A and B are shown apart, each in its own frame.
Chain A
Amino acid sequence: DAMVIQNPRYQVTQFGKPVTLSCSQTLNHNVMYWYQQKSSQAPKLLFHYYDKDFNNEADTPDNFQSRRPNTSFCFLDIRSPGLGDAAMYLCATSRAQDRIITRKQFFGPGTRLTVL
């Protein structure tokens, strides 16, 4: 089945130690998104890629970076994780060619990040 895969599902890191989260998709979608979801809160968009074009949200901290080496993969790098970065990180994809009413975002299962 076509899907959005996130690895690892659970990640524990130490305060200040860089960490990379991975997202891959078999949907061949040209748009990929990264969201941060803190406990009992709504998902918050960090940035997205349209093909190789990177789009950062204005309030995304500089501590968060992203890479998209090809259509299938996208990475979230947290350069110096703080305690406040503990959250679920969700990857999502969509197809730009779809009409807006059908432009579904397909979400992965998320990576839960713990910062010690």
Chain B
Amino acid sequence: QQQVKQSPQSLIVQKGGISIINCAYENTAFDYFPWYQQFPGKGPALLIAIRPDVSEKKEGRFTISFNKSAKQFSLHIMDSQPGDSATYFCAASKYGGATNKLIFGTGTLLAVQP
């Protein structure tokens, strides 16, 4: 119930293509779904986040699509660039008062080929 399943494990995309990473969850109490980007040797950095009351959120080339009934959400990276090559983690959290305990997916290693 507490797991967040992420796929694919790795992804190779050509420069200019669309990268799509999918996540699924079980716990309907989750109400916050962020995506984190992590470069080698660095800590994760928040990329974009969504609440379940909207179906899509776009920030620049990054879009989250959210399907509440299917309990799935996905990250789309438009016009993928070599600089986007990193590991991407989806995560989920349920409101717990003052804190924001994140349950992370298993990660997707994205390689954008020039």
A binds B: yes
**Measuring CB to CB, which residues of chain A are less than 8 angstroms from any residue of chain B?**
4, 30-31, 33, 40-45, 48, 50, 55, 90, 92, 94, 96, 100-101, 103-105, 107-110
Cβ of A110 and Cβ of B42 under 8 Å apart?
yes
Cβ of B98 and Cβ of A30 under 8 Å apart?
yes
Cβ of A100 and Cβ of B31 under 8 Å apart?
yes
Interface residues of B in 58-114 (CB under 8 A from A): 89, 93, 95, 97-102, 104-107
Given contacts A50-B99, A100-B95, 13 further A-B contacts (CB under 8 A): A30-B98, A31-B99, A31-B100, A41-B106, A43-B44, A43-B102, A48-B101, A55-B99, A100-B93, A101-B32, A107-B44, A110-B41, A110-B43
- 9 A-B interface contacts by CB (under 8 A): A42-B89, A43-B102, A90-B44, A92-B43, A103-B32, A103-B100, A104-B49, A107-B44, A109-B43
| Complex Cα spacing A30 to B41, Å | 26
| Complex Cα spacing A44 to B4, Å | 12
Q: How many interface contacts (CB-CB < 8 Å) are there between A and B? A: 62
Asked if B12 is at the interface (CB within 8 A of a chain A CB), the reply is no
Cβ of B100 and Cβ of A100 under 8 Å apart?
yes
Q: Do A42 and B98 form a contact, CB below 8 Å, given A100-B32, A101-B51, A108-B43?
A: no
Task: Using CB atoms, name the residue of chain B closest to A32.
Answer: B99
| Complex Cα spacing A49 to B23, Å | 28
